[in-house]
Amino acid sequence: MRWDNLTDESEHGRAADAALFGADAVTTRTFDGPEFRGITFHEVRARSVLNRVPGASRMPFEWTVNPYRGCTHACVYCFARKTHGYLDLDTGIGFDTQIVVKVNAPEVLRRQLASRRWQGDHVAMGTNVDCYQRAEGRYRLMPGIISALTDHANPFSILTKGTLILRDLELLVRAAEVTDVGISVSVGFLDAELWRTVEPGTPAPERRLDVVRTLGEHGIGCGVLMAPVIPFLSDHPDRLRETVRAIAAAGATSVTPLVLHLRPGAREWFTAWLGRHHPHLVRRYERLYAEGSYAPRWYQRRITRQVHELAREYGIGPARAGLARRIRPAEPAPAPTGSEAVQLSLM
């Protein structure tokens, strides 16, 4: 494993800056219990956790914090798989089971926020891998991170599929009283069979929508990143309708569709999965993604238009943001559209 490549920028491309971890700072652990069976944790001590998104990126945020690398949610299509390769870790099953944990992330963040050089910019979390994945239940890094941001009244956003975020509900409510907090939950579809096979480590879509509902009940407006819309598997108009209807019923303040993209690293893993579970679709995918990592623009536009029409029909939109009691209107979660979503892991 190449720890000298474990830099904080690498989720946005292979970084050239200096190593952030000393080789002697790596501790490898496994834990008993069914939820951690087969998973290895690599504990590292970070020198920095505020990562600047490279200028070339088209992301709508400049700074990120990612306490984990790898993700036990194990979504087959996850774009972040590629970043495991920078550590010489496997981008397939290794991404799902070899989890890097920046165990000192809260202290380091607190120190960096206090620096005179820090300008108080918005900090996005969950943009590379899920900060509320299973590991967070044991390492409990997010409470310290949220508290540090709150104490500095520093605006932030979180994108997640993890219901574990509700553990930190009180902290989020407290944060929203002093700064802008944006929460988005990712729910691409409701189909239970598709969920079990393509997002095997995640909470069920309905449970994620319960998160949206609960946050709203506590005054925290929550958007939904409807991602990914999976061609030929979740894009039928009836499927889109049932998903948007459920998102609306959960009280989401916004819905942003994002069509599956298949960049290197994710593409191979997804294609193998497709061959096992839906072999009749392999040729159709080859044709749809013949030009590269993205579905054609006409297809992306069609899905976006359909979802936006449904959102209007079910009343999801800016008016919903007003439902939030204490929080300011939900910070648009990392929610770029179409091919601009090049850096999101399809959280």
Q: Is 71 in the site for ligand SF4 (CB under 6 A)?
A: yes
Residue count, binding to ligand SF4 (CB under 6 A) = 14
Q: CA-CA distances (angstroms) from residue 320 to 3, 28, 84, 330?
A: 45, 45, 38, 10
Binding segment for ligand SF4 (CB under 6 A), chosen from 39-47, 73-81, 140-148, 236-244, is 73-81
Give backbone dihedrals phi and psi of 313, rounded to 5 degrees, phi first. Answer: -60, -40
Cis-peptide, bond into residue 228, ω within 30° of zero = yes
Q: How far is the CB of 326 from ligand SF4 (least distance, A)?
A: 28
Q: Is 69 in the site for ligand SF4 (CB under 6 A)?
A: no
Instruction: Return the residue of 6, 39, 74, 209 that touches ligand SF4, per CB under 6 A.
Output: 74
Q: How far is the CB of 188 from ligand SF4 (least distance, A)?
A: 10
Instruction: Return the residue of 87, 129, 194, 316 that touches ligand SF4, per CB under 6 A.
Output: 129
Of residues 25 and 166, the one with the C-beta less far from ligand SF4 = 166
Does residue 99 sit in helix, strand or coil? strand
Residues 4-33 binding ligand SF4 (CB under 6 A) are none
Of residues 80 and 175, the one with the C-beta less far from ligand SF4 = 80
Q: Is 161 in the site for ligand SF4 (CB under 6 A)?
A: yes
Q: Is 78 in the site for ligand SF4 (CB under 6 A)?
A: yes
In whole angstroms, give the CA distance from residue 146 to residue 93.
30
Q: Is 194 in the site for ligand SF4 (CB under 6 A)?
A: no
Q: Is 345 in the site for ligand SF4 (CB under 6 A)?
A: yes
Q: Where are the beta strands (DSSP E) in 56-215?
A: 63-65, 68-69, 98-102, 123-125, 156-160, 181-186
Q: Is 75 in the site for ligand SF4 (CB under 6 A)?
A: yes
Of residues 136 and 176, the one with the C-beta less far from ligand SF4 = 136
Binding segment for ligand SF4 (CB under 6 A), chosen from 20-28, 267-275, 323-331, 339-347, is 339-347
Nearest CA-CA partner of 100 in 75, 128, 124: 128
Going by C-beta distance under 8 Å and a sequence separation of 6 or more, which residues neighbour residue 76?
Answer: 197, 198, 199, 266, 269, 270, 273
User: What proportions of the chain, in percent to the nearest 5, are helix, strand and coil?
Assistant: 40, 15, 45
- Measured in residues, the chain has a length of 347
The single residue listed with the structure tokens 């890094």 is 141
Q: How far is the CB of 117 from ligand SF4 (least distance, A)?
A: 30
Q: How far is the CB of 314 from ligand SF4 (least distance, A)?
A: 25
Q: Is 80 in the site for ligand SF4 (CB under 6 A)?
A: yes
Q: Is 73 in the site for ligand SF4 (CB under 6 A)?
A: yes
Nearest CA-CA partner of 334 in 60, 43, 9: 60
Distance of CA 77 to the CA centre of its chain: 12
Q: By the criterion CB under 6 A, which residues form the site for ligand SF4?
A: 71, 73-75, 78, 80, 129-130, 133, 161, 202, 345-347
